[in-house]
Structure 1
Amino acid sequence: MSSAAAGPAGAAAGRIGHVGFITVCVMLATIMQALDTTIANVALPHMQGSLSATQDQISWVLTSYIVAAAIMTPPTGVLAAKLGRKRLFIWAVVGFTVTSMLCGIATSLEEMVLFRLLQGVFGAALVPLSQSVLLDTYPREKHGQAMALWGVGVMVGPILGPTLGGYLTEVYNWRWVFYINLPFGILAMLGIMAFLPETERDHQRRFDVFGFAMLSIAIGALQMMLDRGELLDWFGSTEIIVEAVISGTCFAMFLVHIFTHEHPFLEPAIFRDRNLSIGLILIFLVGIILLATMALLPPYLQNLMDYPVITTGFILAPRGVGTMIAMMVVGRLLNHVDQRGLIGFGLALAAYSLWQMAGFTPDVSRFALIESGVIQGLGLGFIFVPLSTITFSTLAPRYRTEAAGLFSLMRNVGSSIGISVVMALLSSNTQINHAEIAQHVTPFGMMMQEPWLPAFWSPATQTGVAALNGEVTRQASAIAYVDDFLLMMWVTLLGAPLLLLLRKPRRSGSSVPAAAMAD
């Protein structure tokens, strides 16, 4: 799929004087969208009471946003070509900001779900568009720095989201997790209108409605299956089976369509680029590591270690600091070090941090929690920036905006699948571990005869039995968390052999590869 013209890349040098302003504007949009992937999570219990929703119903506040954003990410390139990138960017920022305000004033669950759905529709284009704009604005030799800046928003936003969301909810109320987008949105819109040049519009560009519909239904059904699978006992539920069949069927029809249609939604030729194909797999794995870890740690800290929301947020915050530092460092190293080596180093750090987490106990020290978080943050930073450049380094310019949409989509799908898998395993393994541990907790067992055993754990009383069961559940959960951390460590290590398949980009003097997305 061709994108809106080759003009932007060639024009980059002509707008160097506005690089600073353009960078600030697109970063504001990126951070705004990235924050909203996680900032509302910690506020859900407060929303639940305010909107009179059940536990199952309030999850739609997250699901509606994720599904809409996933569906609307792939057509970003087509819309940018037909409307012009600047025009699409402005509409996306304005729409996202307005729907954020509507979320803040929602008075019922139905209103909230509808406004979150619209927020996801408008927000889907912000990340791929910001990536495209930065790489068109900066000269080739500074693409590493451009990706470092962009990565700070994309990676640090979701990590710091719970911290900021917890603070706003605790100090003000849950509505401020949406109101906070207003100043970001206004500044981003004004800056884009003032400094971002427009791209050429392709009025002949056709929109493949059938291809888009099949891909949208496949993604939407998959997301619904993942979100509701644990609640409905996965394939023991008719709904989950139906959603799986719909997703698989529509995706198969989409693949057949793009290989046989004259003007498909995605041109198959885009996947002939080896670096892009391998990069999409790797960013899928990064999505698992990033958000699956963030889904596990808050309940671990709050449920097993009894940390309050604000303390949990502050303990998780150094992870984002580690990512930010790594991105700033790696942005300067890209000119001098093979990107594949940097990605490999990042994977090693991420795997090591997960190995550390596999040693966690319910009384693990705060230092150990922060240390593993910083190491993982550093690892993700070393992965993301070089991966964002090398993935697009050998791709033809006309495919770049579409590839940016796919890149974001794969990260989001990886996150969704990762979260669903680790949470499902956490629940099932907790039950299995509980049963195994409980077998050894009997009045006649050697352990129950130990003199150090607290008196309130006496199996002879109802209170003692309840206390024992609570402790068994706590220990069973701790083991289940360890199993999840070990699984993610192995997933991380599986990405290392793929680095051998990446082509080393050609260099022009001291330049970083032509990372991507000039339309």
Structure 2
Amino acid sequence: MSDSLPTASADELRHRGSIVLAVMLGSVMQALDTTIANVALPKIQGTLSATQEQMGWVLTSYIVGAAIMTPLSGWLTGPVGRKKIFVSSIALFTIASAMCGLAHGLTELVIYRLIQGVAGASLVPLSLAILLDLYPREQHGKATAMWAMGVTLGPILGPALGGWLTDTQSWRWVFLINIPFGVIAMLLASRFLHETPLKKTPFDFFGFAMLSLAIGSLQLMLDRGQLLDWFSSTEIVIEAVIAAVAFYLFVVHILTTRQPFMSPSLFRDRNFALGSVFIFIVGIVLLATLALLPPLLEGLFGYPVVTIGLVTAPRGMGTFAAMLIVGRVIGKIDARVLVTFGLLTTALSLWLMTGFSPQMDDRLVIWSGVIQGFGLGFTWVPLTTIAFGTLAPSQRNEATAIFNLLRNIGSSIGVAMVTALLTRNVQFMHARLVEHITPYDLATRTHPVFDASTLHGLHGIDGVVTHQATLIAYINDFKLLLIMTLAVTPLVFFLRRARGASAPVVHAD
């Protein structure tokens, strides 16, 4: 079969709309649950009488489970079959969501969240592989646009939807809302999706064990580092050492064994290798920004939780608009041009965020979010099209798993990085600002705001200084993300042009 033609069966092509709906629902469910539970944590903590450290495991268990199982999803499709894995994952994810909503104790909730992460790990990468098989190569931009819409809108809309469900219903509905969508997706996929040919390959247990150990330790370190003050904690040091050693052993193993768990030949393809670097940076910028905005708006600017959801949700409108445009122009305009435009637009939004201040209204928050969503949409779709444009169809299942894994690791590193820098910068800027405040300076003012000779006045001064130091720390985080986005943009020139239907498939050396 020509590589420019769909690799799906004729019956699947006739029911393509139903299959697309099934994989989109699966992708949205998994992506949504990465952020939707965050805003419900205070309510869950009160209901289950848990400490803040214990509540961290509700998020950590999901992230670690998904991270460990994501690379395995590509291999499982060979001996088990892609349809069985996809349908089973939806069913298990839906059941785990129901159990999370019915949980009466913290231990139960953590276990069910772990199962959620394990089950949802294969939904996003396999949904992309299925969509790429349903469309010919020249329409991969359209297929990728649909996939990226679900993957990006999930984390963006999660906090707003989670906040609304928690305020109007109960925190349990944050999980129960998955049930109807999971049932629909499972029924459509089991009815219209056909099984892929089985391919028996030996399982590289050592490679999988080392990769799982490296990813699991890294995720634990990143998620608990801020709580335990990073490398001053013995636990964090141990997790960092385990992650480094396990990853080293994994790399040496796949380069020397005959049938490795993850084929290193994928990274010999220049487009896929560079695309992986780009998607890693996109993961950092996307979730790091989403992690910074809610505490900034609530803690410094006094926004209610519902208002935060309303002013951040339009980011999804920008992404949606970008997907619609990119799906139409990606075959007519060089995808590298679209990626460059998307990165520069994302950089513009981050530059606007460096101008946040308590005196602004919410229009700057809304417009910077819309612009960033628009830029990420223009980056994500053509980038994915280029990354998979020179890979053979037989490599898609494994490649999509790796691609999604790197995006998730980037997101985890990005959130941990900006959170740690925020804490450090607040302390540093506080120390720098108080250097310029003395009782003599305050006494010389005609109408001093605070009386430095009283304890109340000193507390007032400290509050103002802390507020200013925190705002500067947030702005410095946005500047860092801006610099990272601009620094990675020149790599676009090293990408090969995406191949059209009339061009042969070229595998980069």
TM-score band by shorter chain is over 0.9
Residue 430 in 1 paired to residue 414 in 2? no
Residue 451 of structure 1: CA displacement? 4.4
* Aligned with 1:175 (options 151, 172, 175): 172
Q: Which residue of 2 aligns with 1:466?
A: 459
Which of 333-342 and 265-274 deviates more? 265-274
1:6-85 to 2 correspondence within 5 Å?
9-85=6-82
Could you say what secondary structure the match of 1:232 adopts?
Answer: coil
* Aligned with 1:297 (options 293, 298, 306): 293
Residue 452 of structure 1: CA displacement? 5.6
| Paired residues of 2:287 and 2:415 also in contact (CA < 8 A) | yes
Please list the CA deviations of residues 250-279 of structure 1 after superposition, one character each: whole Å capped at 9, or x if unmatched: 001001111111211012211111111000
Q: Which residue of 1 aligns with 2:411?
A: 415
- How many residues of Structure 1 are paired with residues of Structure 2 in the alignment? 504
TM norm structure 1: 0.94
Which of 259-268 and 215-224 deviates more? 259-268
TM norm structure 2: 0.96
Alpha-carbon separation, structure 1, partners of 2:448 and 2:345: 40
Please list the CA deviations of residues 335-355 of structure 1 after superposition, one character each: whole Å capped at 9, or x if unmatched: 100001100000000111111
Uncovered stretches (5+) of structure 2, i.e. residues with no partner = none
Please list the CA deviations of residues 222-266 of structure 1 after superposition, one character each: whole Å capped at 9, or x if unmatched: 111111112222222221111111101000100111111121101
Alpha-carbon separation, structure 2, partners of 1:40 and 1:87: 28
| Paired residues of 1:389 and 1:514 also in contact (CA < 8 A) | no
Alpha-carbon separation, structure 2, partners of 1:515 and 1:187: 39
Alpha-carbon separation, structure 2, partners of 1:398 and 1:86: 15
1:245-284 to 2 correspondence within 5 Å?
245-284=241-280
Residue 179 of structure 1: CA displacement? 0.4
Residue 63 of structure 1: CA displacement? 0.7
Which of 322-331 and 393-402 deviates more? 393-402
Q: Which residue of 1 aligns with 2:194?
A: 197
Residue 450 of structure 1: CA displacement? 3.7
| Paired residues of 2:385 and 2:498 also in contact (CA < 8 A) | no
Q: Which residue of 1 aligns with 2:495?
A: 502
Alpha-carbon separation, structure 1, partners of 2:125 and 2:271: 18
| Paired residues of 1:144 and 1:389 also in contact (CA < 8 A) | yes
Alpha-carbon separation, structure 1, partners of 2:261 and 2:6: 24
User: Which residue type is aligned with residue 112 of structure 1?
Assistant: L
* Aligned with 1:219 (options 196, 215, 218): 215
| Paired residues of 1:392 and 1:515 also in contact (CA < 8 A) | no
1:272-351 to 2 correspondence within 5 Å?
272-351=268-347
Please list the CA deviations of residues 70-123 of structure 1 after superposition, one character each: whole Å capped at 9, or x if unmatched: 110001111111111111111000000000111111111111111101100000
User: Which residue type is aligned with residue 220 of structure 1?
Assistant: G
Q: Which residue of 1 aligns with 2:389?
A: 393
* Aligned with 1:355 (options 340, 351, 354): 351
Residue 444 in 1 paired to residue 444 in 2? no
| Paired residues of 1:340 and 1:386 also in contact (CA < 8 A) | yes
| Paired residues of 1:389 and 1:515 also in contact (CA < 8 A) | no
| Paired residues of 1:344 and 1:383 also in contact (CA < 8 A) | yes
Could you say what secondary structure the match of 1:83 adopts?
Answer: coil
Which of 137-146 and 161-170 deviates more? 137-146
Report % sequence identity.
Answer: 54
Q: Which residue of 1 aligns with 2:128?
A: 131
Could you say what secondary structure the match of 1:241 adopts?
Answer: helix
| Paired residues of 2:274 and 2:387 also in contact (CA < 8 A) | yes
Q: Which residue of 1 aligns with 2:95?
A: 98
Residue 15 of structure 1: CA displacement? 2.8
| Paired residues of 2:144 and 2:384 also in contact (CA < 8 A) | yes
| Paired residues of 1:147 and 1:389 also in contact (CA < 8 A) | yes
Alpha-carbon separation, structure 2, partners of 1:435 and 1:388: 45
User: Which residue type is aligned with residue 349 of structure 1?
Assistant: T
